[in-house]
Structure 1
């Protein structure tokens, strides 16, 4: 079945350009010119992916992303008119799956959209029931309740952040490459790329540092990541 892409941008020329490019790739498209209309289209049509402009009047793309993430894990590809790392990281931390900076090549947008769709359709989620809690130092993870605690206090995480942390904590001695993390995490609702893994890890470190856990994830230069000592010391 054709996949449906919702294109959200207040510039009709950009929407027209992407409708044409995505159509040539065999994808169905629907459009929205603002954030409110985007939310309405999601409710009405249930698209497989949202291509979402950040800078829109009234409700911007970041707020749309927040609301979509509060409701589920619909994949999101951000469009940004500012080549700004803060925008990028904030977008990823909110739960976006990738981003493209304007001006962009329509081929690049199509390629990134197709990559996200392939990852979300790569395999069905495994049936995981009554999974045991994972404890490592001061870290405790409840996989069934999607709950993370540090020294007994909850640390709120997004679904993707929790899944990455669970992957690392399940094998404390293993160093995971970015590709290995993507392979473990991918599936419906999880559409990572190698360059967004770093942003999720930065966000995990920041959240646990606020709780006193500065040694949550270790970086092995040139290799990847593994779970830290989780003893409360510096990472």
Structure 2
């Protein structure tokens, strides 16, 4: 589902025509080509027809919700997904991140900020392909293919989970702050709500790595600062 075209492609999914037009215009000013869909089924059909570099997805859609669509897409693709949520709906944001979304923007929002965040996510996704393969303990990370192996078993990670893992694995034995992770993975340095976003992603990532905060192997918490991945001997 991910596009390999030089010009990034975005799918904008919202049941309100005016909102779709606003988001599409903002993305197009940043160099995106856009496709619009008014509900989950039309969005899914668009995904089957062509590849996208990012999907901007409203949580509140008729019939099937944006979170349901996010989960459906995540079953076979790691294309970056940005959720649009209503102000104060923290439950939607958490549910969206748990479903595999990479970022969220709360309505009302500045269209240019959304477009810049979308471009930042696409840039990080593409830049990761230029990084060499990383091996640490029983963990193997291939940024070019976005493949992650743990003890020879391939893991299924979302784009934000992959970017988070890569950010830590690229700086072994270094303490990486909350702010640095927010900037590198989500394109924001605001800790307002951002710390919960990092915690949720770390929790999911640890689960997929087969570890917990009580007995970490790869991701260690640094109290009051962030996280660290220790350098480990070959498995």
Alignment of 1:149-160 (within 5 A): 158-159=157-158, 160=160
Is there any run of 5+ residues in structure 2 with no aligned partner, and where? 1-5, 189-193, 231-235
Matched, 1:37 2:36: no
User: Per-residue deviation at 1:13?
Assistant: 1.2
Q: Does the C-alpha gap of structure 1 residues 57 and 22 become closer, same or farther in structure 2, counting only changes over 3 Å?
A: same
Q: How is 1:112-131 mapped onto 2 (pairs within 5 angstroms)?
A: 112-126=117-131, 128=133
**Which residue is equivalent to 1:72?**
77
Q: Structure 2 residue aligned with 1:26, among 28, 31, 35?
A: 31
User: Quick check: 193-202 or 51-60, which moved more?
Assistant: 193-202
Q: Give the Cα–Cα distance (whole angstroms) in 2 for the partners of residues 167 and 112 of structure 1.
A: 18
Match of 1:15 in 2: 20
Residue aligning to 1:176: 176
1:95 matched to 2:94? The reply is: no
Moved more, 27-36 or 214-223: 214-223
CA RMSD of superposed structures (Å)? 3.5
Q: State the partner residue of 2:201.
A: 200
Displacement of 1:12 in angstroms is 0.9
Distance 2:225 2:212 in 1: 26
Residue 231 of structure 2 corresponds to residue 226 of structure 1: no
Q: CA deviation at 1:71?
A: 1.3
1:171-212 deviation line (CA, Å, top 9, x unaligned): 7743233466579xx7xxxx544634333113345x38x977
Q: Distance in 1 between matches of 2:180 and 2:225?
A: 11
Q: Structure 1-normalised TM-score? A: 0.70
CA contact (8 A) 1:148 1:162 kept: no
What are structure 1's unaligned runs of at least 5 residues? 229-235
SS of the residue corresponding to residue 88 of structure 2 reads: coil
- The verdict on how the C-alpha distance between 1:60 and 1:125 changes in structure 2, with shifts beyond 3 A counting, is farther
Alignment partners' CA distance in 1, 2:15 and 2:42: 11
d(CA) in 1 for partners of 2:61 and 2:108? 16
Task: Report the Cα distance in structure 2 between the residues aligned to 1:81 and 1:57, rounded to whole angstroms.
Answer: 15
Specify whether residues 72 and 157 from structure 1 end up closer, same or farther in structure 2 by C-alpha distance, changes over 3 A only: closer
TM-superposition CA deviations, 1:122-154 (whole Å, max 9, x none): 2425464xx76x55xxxx6465884558xxxx9
Are 2:221 and 2:228, in contact at CA under 8 Å, matched by a contact in 1? yes
Contact 1:168 1:226 in 2 (8 A): yes
Q: Which sits farther off after the overlay, 52-61 or 159-168?
A: 159-168
Q: Sort the Cα spacing of 1:82 and 1:168 in 2 relative to 1 into closer, same or farther, 3 A.
A: same
C-alpha change, 1:70 and 1:174, in structure 2 (3 Å) is same
Q: Point out the structure with max Rg over C-alpha.
A: 1
For 2:19 and 2:171, locate their aligned partners in 1 and report how far apart those are by CA, in whole Å. 45
Aligned length: 210
